[in-house]
Amino acid sequence: MRYVIIGNSYAGLSCAEAIRRFDKTGEVIIMSDEKHRAYARPLISYYLEGKATDETICYKDEDYYEKNNFTLMIGKKAVSINTVAKKVIVEGSDDLDYDKLFIGPGGTPFIPPIDGFNPDSPMMGTFTKFDDAKKMEKAAKDVKRKEAIVIGGGLIGLKASEGLRALGLHVTIVELLPRVLGLALDEVSGNITAKRLNKNGIDTATGETVTKINLDESGNPTSVVLKSGKELSADIVVVGVGVRPNIGFLEGSGIKIDRGIIVDKTMMTSVKDVYAGGDATVIYDVINKRPNIIAIVPLACEEGRVAGTNMAGVYREYPGGMGLNSVEIYGLPIVTIGLTNPANESQKVYIFQDDNIYRKFVYDGEVLVGAILLGDIAGSGILSAIIRQGLKCLEYKDEFLNGNIYSFVMDSEFEIYNINKGYAVKSYPEDLPEFSRTNWR
């Protein structure tokens, strides 16, 4: 049996490991268009800050592939898939035959139309890959005025800003929404986050967008023009607006696409023996009760694991996932889970706030459907399990508001997975490493 996996990141490697658990002898080929072994994408800003190196950013050892009998093909780009002949068409290389295929290509940066933006300029780019961070590191050494503009105030934009600031640049975030992390935070928590950024030398221009980038004779940026007409100096311009599913190469494959790759509960696509998972895949959103693309690491791991288990012939179903983000901005920890702003008038919001801590809980009747924790994120793993499992806990809202999240587990029995290890959703316990599983009584 030959398994081919497109994608050398969280979904792809989780798939490979699940296959190897149940099939000890099958051929597993992992291909990636990047030239690095598996690295932690959320940590590329840490590389710029000097907190991670070329070695420590990699979360798999050098001998990981050999130990697991995986064949790694790096620098190989899949340009199309012939699902009839069961072949992956590889750029500049021979076609790759498969018996079963997993597609985990991740996302590709979304670049809005901006007059003057040129990703080939050494002083402009995006911020989703390790090579992007290396490019910005080199660019920072060549700047004169040390002014950087980051377009986009989401997670990508904020981490890019932290990294550039650590390189000694003054950074301005330009965000179209009225606050940073606008899709995850509310007005209060967004303002607290912006103040923390401002305090550390990062300015925020919200409700704005870049309409033009002025260039010098070499095609590098000198300034940007905002929607309001204001002009800001710029040596470096980074677009960190977000990502879209990397699915262009699937055109003509027969695989059903609707914004992303459509899969069933086993993570199989509309084509037999072809599976998918990760940031390019449409899954069931358990909070919003509809198909959705939720591009976060814990779900990518879980989707890959379910897909790989089924590919190896052991039946598993994926119940769906929910939005969950965990980030730290200059020592300010932030966790958002599920619905952070009410979806309708029947949902109720409860808030606690003091100088350093903000807690917000969104309830639909007696069921907790979302939370924001800022400043103190203790118990976030418990909250994610409560929300994921749709448990009734309105009677505990005052305890939760006061930070006593653990009160709920004294009276309840359910499983919680350590979100820092990538297990934020309920699954088959035997599929998870022992250290990631905790029973609360």
DSSP 258-309: ESEEE--TTSB-SSTTEEE-STTEEEEETTTTEEE----HHHHHHHHHHHHH
Domain that holds residue 146: 124-241
Average pLDDT over residues 129-136: 96
Residue range 224-282, pLDDT digits in tens:
999 999 999 999 999 999 899 999 999 999 999 999 999 999 999 999 999 999 999 99
In the prediction, which pLDDT does 436 show?
A: 33
My answer on whether 235 and 249 are in the same domain is no
My answer on whether 141 and 234 are in the same domain is yes
Q: Is 163 within the bounds of a domain?
A: yes
Entry pTM: 0.89
What residue type is 171 in one-letter code? V
Query: Rounded to an integer, what distance in angstroms lies between the CA atom of residue 144 and that of residue 235?
Result: 7
Residue range 24-69, pLDDT digits in tens:
999 999 999 999 999 999 899 999 999 999 999 999 998 999 999 9
DSSP state of 227: T
In the prediction, which pLDDT does 412 show?
A: 60
My answer on whether 339 and 426 are in the same domain is yes
Query: Rounded to an integer, what distance in angstroms lies between the CA atom of residue 74 and that of residue 84?
Result: 25
CATH of the domain at 346: 3.30.390.30
Q: Is 117 within the bounds of a domain?
A: no
Query: Percentage of the chain surpassing pLDDT 70?
Result: 93
- Please check the confidence at residue 192 and state whether its pLDDT lies above 90: yes
My answer on whether 152 and 229 are in the same domain is yes
**Which has the closest alpha carbon to 107: 244, 204, 211?**
244
In the prediction, which pLDDT does 300 show?
A: 95
Strands of 100-103's sheet, edge to edge? 70-74, 27-32, 2-6, 100-103, 274-276
In the prediction, which pLDDT does 424 show?
A: 38
